[in-house]
Amino acid sequence: MTQHPLRLADFRLLFLGRTISTLGDAVVPAALAIAVTRATGSAAALALVLGCAMVPKLLLLPFGGVVGDRFDPRLVALTTDVVRAVAQVLVGLELLGGHPRLTPVAIASAVGGIASAFAVPTASPLVAAVVPSEKRLRANALLGTATAAARLGGPALAGVLVYTAGPGWAFVLDGASFVLSAALLTRLTARRATDGPAPDGHAPGSHSPTGPRSLRRDLAEGWSEVRSRDWYWTSLIAHGVWNGASAVLLTLGPLIAATRLGGDGVWVALTQAGAVGLLVGSLLAGRLRPRRPVLAGNLALALYGLPLLALAVPAPAPLAVAAQAVAMTGLGFLNPVWETVVQQDFPAGSLARVTSYDWLLSLAAAPLGYVLAPLAADAWGSRVPLLAAAALVTLVCAGTAAVPGVRRHGVRPADGTAPGPAATATTATATAAPIAAPIAAPIAAPIAAPIAAPIAAPIAAPGPVAERPPARARVSP
C-alpha cells in the first residue's frame, strides 16, 4: 500500500498553505460585492474593481508561466503570496477607515490580479516537485477537496465577518492567510521536479548553449507543447466552452430562480448544491482510477448541460438543484484527474507555461458568456441562450471522444513501462484534426478563435522548436 500524500512533510506544508489561502480567497467575493455597493451604490463600480483584477491577470498569465519555468516555483509562489497579502490588507484598511475610495481599492485589486497571474502557473510545478508520480492523483484530489470545502464554507464565513465586524476584516483575514501560506512555503525543501527534460533538451531553468533564452522563444515553446498534443488542445476547447456556458448560467440563473422557481432561496440552494457536488467529485477522483482519464473527465464535464436545460424549461426547483449538484460533481472529478495527467505527461521545464495557457483559455472564455448571455436573452428570451449553452457544452465536451488521443490516453505508471498517452507529436495532431473537426471545431471555433488567435499569433512566429517524443488535463471552477 502506497504512503498517503499527507505523510510527506513537504506536501503537508503545501496542502496547509493552499487550504488556508483558498479559504481566505473564498471569503473575499461576497465581502467585496457588499463593500463596493455600500460605498458607491453602483454595479458599474463593482464591475470596474473586478475588471481591474481580471484583465491584468489574463494578459500576464503566459508571462507568469515563463517565470514559473525559469525560476524556482516555490520562490515565485512565496513572492506572490507576500504581494497579495499586502494588497488585501491595504484594501481592508481602506474599508475599515469608514470612507472607502474606489481608486485605491481598484489599484490594489489590479496589483492582486498581477500577482495572481504569476502565482497560478506555479501550482502544478509545486505539486510535481513535492509528490512522487504514483501519489499525485490522490494529492490533487486532496487539494481539490480542500478547495471545494472552502467554497462551501467561505460565503458563510464572509457573511459572519461582514455583518459582525465589517467587510474590511474579510480582506484583512485574506491578507493574513497569504502571510501564513508564504511562511509555510519558506519551509519547503523540495525544488523543481525532474521527471522530464525541458522542451529544448536542457535542464529546467538553464540557458541554451547560444546564450540567454528570449522571452518570445520561451512563450513559443510553451505554445508548441500545447499544440503538439491533440488530446490537450481539443480538451482545452471543451474546457473553454464549459466556462462560457457556466458564465451563461451565472448571468441568467439568479433572475430565473427568483422569478420562476420560487425566489432567491432557490438560487442559494443551487449554488450550495454545486459546492457540495464539487466536494463529492473531488473525493471520487481520489478513489476512482479510470483507464482513460481524459475521456472520463471530459464526459463528466458534459453533465453541465443538465442544469442549463433545467433552467431553460424551467424544471421544478428540486430538479434544478439536483442537476447543478450532478454537474459540479463532474467538474470536481475532472480537476484532480486533469492536473495529475498534466503533471505526468508534460516536461518539468514547461509545466508552468502549459498551465498558464490552460488557465488563460479557460478564464478568457467566461467574459464571452457574461457579455453574450444578456444580449441574447434581451433579443430572444432567456430560454434561447440557456438551450444553446446546454447544447454547446454537451456536444463539445462529449465530442472530444472523437479525438484518438483523448480516447486512448491513460495515466502513466511511475516506472513508465506502460504505454500511457496515446498521442502526440504534431503529426498525430494532423491525423486527429480531421476526425475531431466535424464535431468540435464548427461549434467551438466562434468561441475559441477570438481568444486564441491574438495570443498565439505573436508567439508562434519564432523559428522551429525542438519537438518531444509522445509523452500526457483542467477547468477552472
Confidence (pLDDT) at 191: 62
Residue 210 domain-assigned?
no
**One domain for residues 352 and 473:** yes
Q: Are residues 180 and 43 in the same domain?
A: yes
Q: How far apart are CA 58 and CA 46, in angstroms?
A: 18
Residues 97 and 227 in one domain: no
Domain containing residue 253? 218-477
How confident is the model at residue 33, as a pLDDT? 82
Nearest 5°: phi and psi at 211?
130, -175
Is residue 208, in this structure, part of any structural domain at all?
no
| Residues 78, 172 share a domain | yes
Domain assignment present for residue 318? The answer is yes
Number of domains in the chain: 2
Which pTM value belongs to this model? 0.78
In a shared domain, residues 239 and 188: no
List the pLDDT tens digit at each of the 477 positions of the chain. Answer: 567 899 999 999 999 999 999 988 888 888 888 888 888 877 678 878 888 888 899 999 999 999 999 999 999 999 999 999 999 999 999 999 888 888 999 999 999 999 999 999 999 999 999 999 889 999 999 999 998 898 888 888 888 888 888 889 999 999 999 999 999 999 998 665 554 444 444 444 444 444 567 899 999 999 999 999 999 999 999 999 999 999 999 989 988 988 899 888 888 889 889 999 999 999 999 888 888 999 999 999 999 999 999 999 999 999 999 999 999 999 999 999 999 999 999 998 999 999 999 999 888 888 888 888 989 999 999 999 999 999 999 999 999 999 999 998 874 444 444 334 333 333 333 333 333 334 333 433 443 344 344 334 433 333 333 333 333 334 444
User: Is residue 65 a part of any domain in this protein?
Assistant: yes
Same domain, 268 and 414: yes
Q: How many other β-carbons are positioned within 10 Å of the β-carbon of residue 59? A: 14
Return the HEC string of the chain.
CCCCHHHCHHHHHHHHHHHHHHHHHHHHHHHHHHHHHHHHCCHHHHHHHHHHHHHHHHHHHHHHHHHHHHCCHHHHHHHHHHHHHHHHHHHHHHHHCCCCCHHHHHHHHHHHHHHHHHHHHHHHHHHHHHCCHHHHHHHHHHHHHHHHHHHHHHHHHHHHHHHHCCHHHHHHHHHHHHHHHHHHHCCCCCCCCCCCCCCCCCCCCCCECCECCCHHHHHHHHHHHHHCCHHHHHHHHHHHHHHHHHHHHHHHHHHHHHHHCCCHHHHHHHHHHHHHHHHHHHHHHHHCCCCCHHHHHHHHHHHHHHHHHHHHCCCCHHHHHHHHHHHHHHHHHHHHHHHHHHHHHCCHHHHHHHHHHHHHHHHHHHHHHHHHHHHHHHHHCCHHHHHHHHHHHHHHHHHHHHCHHHHHCCCCCCCCCCCCCCCCCHHHHHHHHHHHCCCCHHHHHHHHHHHHHHHHHHHCCCCCCCCCCCCCCCCCC
- Gap between the terminal Cα atoms of the chain: 32
Same domain for 158 and 293?
no
CATH of the domain at 474: 1.20.1250.20
For residue 240, give the C-alpha cell: 473553454
Same domain, 371 and 411: yes
- What type of residue sits at position 66? V
Residues 380 and 183: their CA atoms lie apart, in Å, by 53
Residues 106 and 238 in one domain: no
- In a domain, residue 212? The reply is no
Amino acid letter, residue 58? L
Q: Taking the CB of residue 107, how many other CB atoms lie within 10 A of it?
A: 16
Cβ neighbour number for residue 42 with a 10 Å cutoff: 12
Place of cell 465581502: 31
Quote the cell numbers at residue 187: 519551509
Using alpha carbons only, how large is the chain's radius of gyration in Å?
A: 22
- Alpha carbon of 428 to those of 34, 202, 217: distances in Å? 51, 25, 23
Nearest to 171 by CA among 54, 87, 85, 89: 89
Cell numbers linked to 390: 446546454
In a domain, 132, yes or no: yes
Instruction: Clarify whether residues 186 and 230 are in a common domain.
Output: no
In a domain, 441, yes or no: yes
Q: Say yes or no: 72 and 186 in one domain.
A: yes
Contacts of residue 149, defined as CB under 8 A and 6 or more positions apart, other chains included, come to 279
Give the CB-side neighbour count of residue 6, counting CA atoms within 13 A: 7
Q: In sequence order, which residues have a C-beta less than 8 Å from that of residue 160 and are 6 or more positions away?
A: none
User: How far, in Å, are 153, 264, 333 from residue 326 at the CA level?
Assistant: 19, 21, 11
Do the domain assignments include residue 344?
yes
CA pair distance 247, 241, nearest whole angstrom = 10
Residues 280/329, Cβ–Cβ less than 8 Å: yes
Are residues 189 and 222 both part of a single domain?
Answer: no
